[in-house]
Amino acid sequence: MLEVKNATYTVEEEGETTTILRDINLTLEDGKFYVITGPNGGGKSSLAKIIMGIYPVTSGKILFNGKDITTSDVTERARMGIGFAFQQPPRFKGITVGELLYLSAGESKRGRGCNFLFDVGLCPKSYIDREVSSSLSGGELKRIEIATLMNRKLDIAIFDEPEAGIDLWSFSKLTETFRRMHERSKTTIVIISHQERIMEMADEIILVADGQIQQKGDKDIILPNIYRDCNYTKNCLERIENVDR
């Protein structure tokens, strides 16, 4: 079980303090499937990153199976069984897909990593020796990123917008993979997503906007709210329009 207690995350820029996340209280129970959704810039990725330890909390606590991990670094949290797939994964010149999967598997075998490439819609044979560099397209990189998590033995796996940049065909395969992962393993799955098909798979939905958790609860209760909630939709549209302009 992972608990975030009264967490706040602020950043200082040119003497100004911006609050990215405020008063976050969140409990993620073992083996459940969560989807975090909400408008762009709402704080979803930041929330995932404070759980992974990539961002430090400014105040508050993070507990993992009852243990206070607030000051544990990324490596320690990874070794405890927390995993995170980046929204925008970095590229590595000279490191191959196979090597990255090998690193991600830790103690376990390399061979398994290759199977996970199938699950994200990539043919292992044609990818295993390719560099994780700019020679890969955005969608390919995203899928490899997802495979690096599938490859690990995790208590909590957080995927940040895994569907972004991925074609429809691979997307079907991917949702199927998440479903199977949920059925077959005890891993707590957290997916940041806007996709109806992914939200429909969730046990619970967490709506994050303006740096706060706005709603959290059973999918069947929250989803209709989200679809109906004109504030959220309107907000969303306004934001998108603002971006377009």
Partner 1 sequence: MIDSIEKRMLKEITGLHDIPQGAFSLRKDGESAQVSSTANIEIRPKKDKPGIDVIVKPGTKGESVHVPVVITATGIDDMVYNTFDIGENADVVIVAGCGIHNPGGEKTQHDGIHNFIVRKGARLRYVEKHYGEGEGTGERILNPMTDLIIEEGATAELEMVQIRGVDSTKRDTQAKVYKNAHLVITERLLTHGKQFAESNVTVELLGENSTVQLLSRTVAQDNSRQVFYPRVIGKNKCRGHVECDSIIMGEAVVRSIPEIAAHHEDAQLVHEAAIGKIAGEQIIKLMTLGLSAREAEETILQGFLK
Site membership for Mg ion, residue 195 (CB under 5 A): no
Write each residue from 136 to 175 as x if it is in contact with Mg ion (CB under 5 A), else as -, in one continuous string: ----------------------------------------
Near ligand ADP in 11-70, by CB under 6 A: 11, 20, 40-46
Site membership for partner 1, residue 152 (CB under 8 A): yes
154, 64, 188, 87: CA torsion to nearest 10 = -80
DSSP code of 108? S
Site membership for partner 1, residue 90 (CB under 8 A): yes
SS (H, E, C) 178-226: HHHHHHHCCCEEEEECCCHHHHCCCCEEEEEECCEEEEEEEHHHHHHHH
Site membership for Mg ion, residue 45 (CB under 5 A): yes
Site membership for partner 1, residue 23 (CB under 8 A): no
Cβ proximity to Mg ion, 28 vs 105, nearer residue: 28
Give the residue among 194, 188, 171, 146 at the shortest CA–CA distance from 42. 194
Please name the residues in contact with 203: beta carbons below 8 A apart, sequence gap of 6 or more.
Answer: 32, 33, 34, 218, 219
CA distance 51 to 149: 15
Site membership for partner 1, residue 99 (CB under 8 A): yes
Write each residue from 66 to 85 as x if it is in contact with partner 1 (CB under 8 A), else as -, in one continuous string: -------xxx--xx---xx-
State in angstroms the smallest separation of the CB of 188 from partner 1.
16
CA distance 82 to 91: 21
Closest-by-Cβ residue to Mg ion is 45
Site membership for partner 1, residue 50 (CB under 8 A): no
Q: Using CB under 5 A, list all residues that contact Mg ion.
A: 45, 87
Q: Using CB under 6 A, list all residues that contact ligand ADP.
A: 11, 20, 40-46
